[in-house]
Structure 1
Amino acid sequence: MWCTSCALAVEGVLAHRQGIERISVHYPSATLWVRGSAKSISLEALAPKVKRLGYRLTELEAHADAHARLEQESRYLSLRLLVGSVFGMWTMLASILIYAGALPNPTIEWVVAWVSGAFSIPVITFAGWPFYRAGLRTLRAKRPGMDVLVALGVWSAVGVSVGLLWRGSAEVYFDTAVMLIVLLLGGRLVETLCRHRGLKALDVLPQPSDEAMVWEDTQWRFKSLTDVQPGARAMLSPGELISLDGVLEEAAWVDTASLTGESTPRHFPKGEPVYAGCRLLGSADVVIRVTHALGQRRLDRLRDQMRHYQTQKGELQKLADRFAAWLSPVALILGVATLPVGLVMGLGIEDAIVRALSVLVVACPCAVGLAVPLASLAGSGQLLNQGIALRDPAALETLARVKAIALDKTGTLTQGEPLLVNWASREGITEQALKATLYQVAANSQHPLSKTLKRWARSDQSPAMPEVSAPLCVVQDVPGQGVHLRLSEYGDIWLGSQRFLNSQGIEPPANRTDTSFQAASEVMLADAQGWLGSFYLEDTPYEDAAPSIQLLQADYWVVMLSGDRPSAVEAAAERIGLAPDACFAERSPEAKARLVQGLPSPTMFVGDGVNDTLSLAAADIGVAPFNASDAAQEGAAAHLLKPGIASLVEGLAIARATRRVMLQNLTLSAVYNTLALGLVIIMAIPPLVAVLAMVASSLSVTLNAARLAWRD
């Protein structure tokens, strides 16, 4: 499809077929969404109807095919834009020389006018061909769109210019035709690039590998994921992204942040289900029993739901469709009717044709087309200065109308990795001695929290640590609870949870620390004499989280959604100033997306992980925070370039100011169109004056948009 008019044409042809209840053609993703009886909505029933318009309807394309299609469209547009720009430049130069009176005599002006027309031929034929084709298709569907108006304006300008040249006049309008084609081609190219970039939101979800090591014929061998069926045994390597859903045949450490949002990896016992997209930790291979084949995995279901969200039309799109449905036909009828009305009023054939051309030139939506993009460009520049990069030009308007803000916890409001927030030790134990012992044990532990403990033990405040001693033996290792080591220098050492130490007969003192760190993860250290120390690790909020939340709550409905445990969510909420009823813990990606949809619209979601991509798609606008995952960055319409969310506060204010300018520009352009069309109908206005009026209108919206760039 070439534009939204194409989508409306396809909708119009199919909407009234018997058995179809609801239909929506989504232009950005080139997707048809239809509901009705099975026979009526089958591909065999719909494809022939679409083919008669000149389009091709197929099964839902694969991501690779969609990329190839949009890349081909980009090259197609770039070539036509290049031809239009190169040849149109000389057409415009010749016209400027004529308009400015810079040529010595009328004969040379007439020759230069012919040269102007000659240079416009590649533009109006090759570069403008997509507009004519789309116009014919929408006419065939009885849904004439802006392409019909553009095509009629271009060829009317060419026809009038050729007629004037034939009569010896140099007052030609080839530049009008060239300007319309080149400007609209540039807009189409930007639109296509945005569509291509938006498609990548779905492209980051597939499995990292298309093969899996499967047990077959008494040996392990690599097989394509498409050939792996439920019940097969697959081997996973440490650090590998799991590619198939399955059940563990042995215990393992798994980083589930991609699907659950948990801030720390956790231990999965034997028989626990794991999902594609999670990462296997540890140092040994693990075997799973596959439960879902490719296409049926949880990851696939998430991707399907994301695609469903993206193909639904929002209120702004519906409003734009309704506006386009009557605007183009009205302008077209008005322009065509001007010629016979002029003849009836006693105008000569030449005057009537020129007046009709003036109407078409005035009716072309140049000012309307510039009103929003220029303001958006200026507002986007201001947002960039505040540390917010927009990936979709349309996102700015939605950002200005946001009513509810949903925020992920881990990596968005908090820093995404555990930090030591407090520690306590046995009486008589110095910090240096505690760190030395802790370092030796943490270096010999594979628990994810051990990295933080080891880093703290080697902090700059402590003397240089000795080399790690090799343990004489690992007396006991209980995954997820703790480890009992026997070191040559320190003897028996235990490191783990309180439950683990209790099972070893070690009772820590009840008053080892205050109760303000109950929500933190506690790791205990003990030796042969008993409890040695406790360490409290917590995912701490960014410094700007609390003041930013306070400012946002004054104007918006703010909630926090997380897949983390309730105690961690409650602790974070208390620190940043969110009420308990505004926080939701242990929420799956699907549940978070449903909650986002239930908030007052328009909604904004801020999240950093793969598990947040569904919510980013479900929200009216998605925002990826600093250091977000590739999935979140590709699925979001905006990206924060600074840690924390402080830039959101000023960014929302800039968006609101930008929307006000957009509305002002639209009002200015509407007033221009109303006055210009009225004047050109009741009195003779040369096409040149119509062009100048278009320039004046464009200048007014440009200067108004420039105020945003000067905003302090």
Structure 2
Amino acid sequence: MTYDAASGADFSAFLAKGKDGRASLDLLVRGARCAGCLGKIERAVGELPGVESARLNLTSGKLSVGFAGPSGDPAAVIATLDKLGYPATPYDPGQAQIAHDREGRRLILALAVAGFGAMNTMMFAVPLWAGLFGQELGPATKQVMMWLSGAVGAPCAIYAGMPFFQSAWRSLKGGRANMDVPISIGVILTLVVSFTETFLNGRDAYFDAAVSLLFLLLIGRWLDHQLRAKARSAAGDLLAMQAPAAAVLDGRGHEHRRPLSEVQPGDIVLVRPGERIPVDGRIEMGASELDNALLTGETAPVAVAAGQVCRAGALNLSGVLRLQALARSEDSALAAIARLVEAGAQSKSRYVRLADKAAAVYVPVVHTVAALTFAGGWALGLGPREALIRAVAVLIITCPCALGLAVPAVQITASARLFRKGVLVKSGAALERLAEVDHVVFDKTGVLTEGRPRLIDGDPDTLALAAPLARASSHPLARALAEEAGDGPLADEVTEHAGMGVEGLIGGRRARLGRAAFVGADSREASETELWFGFEGEAAVRFRFSDQLRRDAALAVAALKARGLTVEVLSGDLAAPVWSAAERAGIETWRAGLTPQEKAAAVDALAAQGRKVLMVGDGLNDAAALAKAHAAMAPGTALEASQNAADLVFSAEGLMAVAQAYDVALTARRRAMENFGFAALYNAVAAPAAMLGFVNPFVAALAMSGSSLAVTLNALRMKSRP
């Protein structure tokens, strides 16, 4: 459903208030496909009175409008978008997905109709072609074949051409011309000329050319849609990590479950073991250990006690906590990261793809050439009918079918090649951006390293003794110890001491597993993550753990450096393990202890220096940096939000997938440029031939189809490269 701003409807209910008191509006915009659409929408909306900012995300279709004061005029924004030819509705993620799926079904149905029309129109066109070889049909039979060809081809062309016709109309209505304008004009004029020739008993009709042209163009449009379909909203995934409700204690200490949106600063919130912290808060009572890996990248759980601040999204591991809420859910650290991710995604939308750059030159040139052909032919003595046929031939033979397939065909082929190597490409522009990078940033935990602690020392007999306690604990290090020991019995009478460790009976003897002080040991070393184990009254033993480097991390780093790329590590982990991992991987530049905001700021700083950054990360603390980087990759084990913020996801255990993806991206860019070069050469030869009357619309359609086949075959050459 669309909203008519002229109807006097009140849209103020869709305004949201920020913490600064200013109003904002989120709209779902339909029809925006390229950087030109984005720029036009943002400029027009940004110039409205009272509008402070306007940012459009092409992938999701979400337009975020910020007003300068506590109120705004949503109706004026919607009316402006409608005048530009981009209908808008209040943003709803569910409706956005429904609209995207509807567009996909519409394209595949149009493609099917065009394919049906092309095949069946040929049944009547082939007998007409026989006249080219001296087997002329009788006049009556020929006209019947032409009418039958039109009866099948014209309806199919009109239906299959609707995506192009509507896009062209919206573009012209907004005072601009996109690539769909010459396509629409060419198809419509071809049908008009064909019906005119059929009615006047002329020599040729070109219904088959029109529907075949649309079939080839729709292939490219559908391929592009399929690549876009893989991009989802990472910001929405981040916010989905928050608990839907929180346990709030009233003045009498009674527990009430409230929706997260109703939790206010000052409320007392109860968080049990295994639950995530719902909002930023300060501990009033209790002690526990928090798993901050998703927020900071730290591999070791962090002990917390009364008076300390906990961030939303952290996982409570052991003790019951009572928190005083410090912020609403929309003002939490997790929500701040989501806003950074959304801003990064919107900035990526401004990237101008190769096809858009080519279209900016192509469209005005083709219009000019076709108009000059018609005007010049008429002025030089040709009749209006012959001049129009030549102009139509120019539009058909220079149709951007090859141009439209040049990039999607390469990207689909490259994506298929990478898929066989375990790399999923999620967006059409991802490979183009990846081919431009000159600096690679790695996260440590889960990227350079495997992301899970492993036991690096410990006597097998002692390990077997400690395993019953380890199996009874949910602590990450205890789980790693239990995994190393394998299946077996559990300890009896197990008690977990928040932030310290576990205690229980093993074979009737009391034992403890946890921190050195809890077990009664004295440890002055802090370079490795560790657990201590001991029976009551006996000396304790230490188990040390390490996050192992990926097996080919050093090889991948060396391969990237050999390709002229610089490499560094940005991590939220402690300095000692970051330095160790970077040194073993052969990376000289590293930074540790970074927050998600600091990582994103570091990527922004590199971009300000003119660097094109490839970010490789897996955690929640990497999501904002992934979204802001020029290109981004994430491993298949990464958090879903990080995978969605990334442009490519690799499922392989090793890091060589990063270097392989870069190589394929470079090859894809070369193939795309070759296709553009061929399309330019083809048009330079074909357009003059059509202008001089050497090519009629039928031959023009054949030549256009041949050019499309040529760029497709060139794209397929990627499969044969080693």
Interval containing the TM-score (normalised by the shorter chain): 0.7 to 0.9
Deviation at 1:344, TM superposition (A): 0.6
2:441 aligned partner: 406
2:566 aligned partner: 557
SS at match of 1:264: coil
Match for residue 383 of structure 1 among 400, 418, 437: 418
2:651 aligned partner: 641
Question: How is 1:414-433 mapped onto 2 (pairs within 5 angstroms)?
Answer: 414-423=449-458, 431=459, 433=461
1:269 aligned partner: 305
2:720 partner amino acid:
W
Match for residue 367 of structure 2 among 322, 325, 332: 332
Q: Tell me how far apart the structure 2 counterparts of residues 27 and 421 of structure 1 sit (CA, whole Å).
A: 48
Q: 1:318 to 1:22 in 2, by over 3 A?
A: farther
Q: Tell me how far apart the structure 1 counterparts of residues 164 and 125 of structure 2 sit (CA, whole Å).
A: 23
Deviation at 1:311, TM superposition (A): 1.6
2:550 partner amino acid:
Y
1:604 partner amino acid:
L
Q: Tell me how far apart the structure 2 counterparts of residues 313 and 75 of structure 1 sit (CA, whole Å).
A: 26
RMSD between aligned residues: 3.2
1:480 aligned partner: 499
Deviation at 1:290, TM superposition (A): 2.3
8 Å CA contact retained: 1:625, 1:644: no
Deviation at 1:220, TM superposition (A): 2.1
Deviation at 1:276, TM superposition (A): 2.9
2:125 aligned partner: 95
Match for residue 534 of structure 1 among 530, 542, 548: 542
State yes or no: 1:151 paired with 2:184: yes
1:662 aligned partner: 672
The farther-off stretch of 7-16 and 292-301 is 7-16
Q: 1:150 to 1:590 in 2, by over 3 A?
A: same
SS at match of 1:438: helix
Q: 1:12 to 1:336 in 2, by over 3 A?
A: farther
Question: How is 1:161-240 mapped onto 2 (pairs within 5 angstroms)?
Answer: 161-169=194-202, 171-208=204-241, 209-216=243-250, 218=252, 219-240=254-275
Match for residue 584 of structure 2 among 575, 580, 601: 575
State yes or no: 1:140 paired with 2:173: yes
2:712 aligned partner: 702
2:594 aligned partner: 587
Q: 1:630 to 1:445 in 2, by over 3 A?
A: closer
8 Å CA contact retained: 2:42, 2:54: yes
Q: Tell me how far apart the structure 2 counterparts of residues 25 and 455 of structure 1 sit (CA, whole Å).
A: 48
Q: Tell me how far apart the structure 1 counterparts of residues 717 and 167 of structure 2 sit (CA, whole Å).
A: 37
The farther-off stretch of 433-442 and 146-155 is 433-442
SS at match of 1:289: strand
Q: Tell me how far apart the structure 2 counterparts of residues 616 and 436 of structure 1 sit (CA, whole Å).
A: 42
2:25 aligned partner: none
Match for residue 60 of structure 2 among 21, 25, 29: 29
SS at match of 1:292: coil
8 Å CA contact retained: 2:347, 2:628: no
8 Å CA contact retained: 2:235, 2:338: yes
8 Å CA contact retained: 2:57, 2:349: no
2:23 aligned partner: none
State yes or no: 1:545 paired with 2:553: yes
Q: 1:625 to 1:100 in 2, by over 3 A?
A: farther
Question: How is 1:666-681 mapped onto 2 (pairs within 5 angstroms)?
Answer: 666-681=676-691
Q: 1:53 to 1:468 in 2, by over 3 A?
A: closer
Deviation at 1:25, TM superposition (A): 5.0
Q: 1:612 to 1:11 in 2, by over 3 A?
A: closer
8 Å CA contact retained: 1:246, 1:288: yes
Q: 1:117 to 1:596 in 2, by over 3 A?
A: same
State yes or no: 1:114 paired with 2:114: no
Q: 1:222 to 1:261 in 2, by over 3 A?
A: same
The farther-off stretch of 377-386 and 605-614 is 377-386
2:93 aligned partner: 63
Q: 1:290 to 1:34 in 2, by over 3 A?
A: closer
Q: 1:585 to 1:95 in 2, by over 3 A?
A: farther
The farther-off stretch of 322-331 and 222-231 is 322-331
Q: 1:20 to 1:180 in 2, by over 3 A?
A: farther
Q: Tell me how far apart the structure 1 counterparts of residues 687 and 46 of structure 2 sit (CA, whole Å).
A: 34
Q: 1:316 to 1:445 in 2, by over 3 A?
A: closer
The superposition leaves residues 672-693 of structure 1 with CA deviations (integer Å, 9 ceiling, x where unpaired) of 1122223322443211222222
8 Å CA contact retained: 2:434, 2:662: yes
1:435 partner amino acid:
L
- The percentage of counterpart residues that share the same residue type is 31
1:693 partner amino acid:
A
Match for residue 456 of structure 1 among 462, 484, 490: 484
2:596 partner amino acid:
P
Question: How is 1:225-304 mapped onto 2 (pairs within 5 angstroms)?
Answer: 225-248=260-283, 249-282=285-318, 285-304=320-339
SS at match of 1:205: helix
State yes or no: 1:435 paired with 2:463: yes
Query: Between Structure 1 and Structure 2, how many residues are aligned?
Result: 681
Q: Tell me how far apart the structure 1 counterparts of residues 651 and 127 of structure 2 sit (CA, whole Å).
A: 47
2:137 partner amino acid:
N
Q: Tell me how far apart the structure 2 counterparts of residues 324 and 35 of structure 1 sit (CA, whole Å).
A: 31
TM-score, scaled to structure 1: 0.87
Q: 1:640 to 1:619 in 2, by over 3 A?
A: same
Deviation at 1:120, TM superposition (A): 2.6
Q: Tell me how far apart the structure 2 counterparts of residues 447 and 242 of structure 1 sit (CA, whole Å).
A: 17
Q: 1:181 to 1:294 in 2, by over 3 A?
A: farther
Q: Tell me how far apart the structure 1 counterparts of residues 403 and 314 of structure 2 sit (CA, whole Å).
A: 48
SS at match of 2:230: helix
2:701 aligned partner: 691
Q: 1:443 to 1:708 in 2, by over 3 A?
A: closer
Deviation at 1:100, TM superposition (A): 5.3
8 Å CA contact retained: 1:9, 1:141: no
Deviation at 1:569, TM superposition (A): 0.7
Q: Tell me how far apart the structure 1 counterparts of residues 49 and 461 of structure 2 sit (CA, whole Å).
A: 82
Q: Tell me how far apart the structure 2 counterparts of residues 469 and 234 of structure 1 sit (CA, whole Å).
A: 33
Q: Tell me how far apart the structure 2 counterparts of residues 316 and 95 of structure 1 sit (CA, whole Å).
A: 44
The superposition leaves residues 577-636 of structure 1 with CA deviations (integer Å, 9 ceiling, x where unpaired) of 221xx1111111121122223335322111122332212111122111132222222222
Q: Tell me how far apart the structure 1 counterparts of residues 246 and 667 of structure 2 sit (CA, whole Å).
A: 52
8 Å CA contact retained: 1:9, 1:138: no
Q: Tell me how far apart the structure 2 counterparts of residues 518 and 273 of structure 1 sit (CA, whole Å).
A: 23
SS at match of 1:204: helix
1:470 aligned partner: 492
Q: Tell me how far apart the structure 1 counterparts of residues 688 and 50 of structure 2 sit (CA, whole Å).
A: 45
SS at match of 1:417: strand
Deviation at 1:266, TM superposition (A): 2.5
1:307 aligned partner: 342
Question: How is 1:351-370 mapped onto 2 (pairs within 5 angstroms)?
Answer: 351-370=386-405
8 Å CA contact retained: 2:217, 2:405: no
1:136 partner amino acid:
W
The farther-off stretch of 298-307 and 529-538 is 529-538
Note the residue ranges of structure 2 that are not aligned, 5 or more in a row. Answer: 1-29
TM-score, scaled to structure 2: 0.85
8 Å CA contact retained: 1:250, 1:271: no
State yes or no: 1:652 paired with 2:662: yes
SS at match of 2:240: coil
Note the residue ranges of structure 1 that are not aligned, 5 or more in a row. Answer: 424-430, 460-464, 511-516
Q: Tell me how far apart the structure 1 counterparts of residues 344 and 717 of structure 2 sit (CA, whole Å).
A: 36
8 Å CA contact retained: 2:455, 2:484: yes
Q: Tell me how far apart the structure 1 counterparts of residues 501 and 159 of structure 2 sit (CA, whole Å).
A: 72
The farther-off stretch of 187-196 and 325-334 is 187-196
8 Å CA contact retained: 1:207, 1:276: no
1:150 partner amino acid:
I
8 Å CA contact retained: 1:507, 1:531: no
The farther-off stretch of 637-646 and 626-635 is 626-635
8 Å CA contact retained: 2:406, 2:672: yes
8 Å CA contact retained: 1:10, 1:141: no
Deviation at 1:325, TM superposition (A): 4.2
Deviation at 1:340, TM superposition (A): 1.9
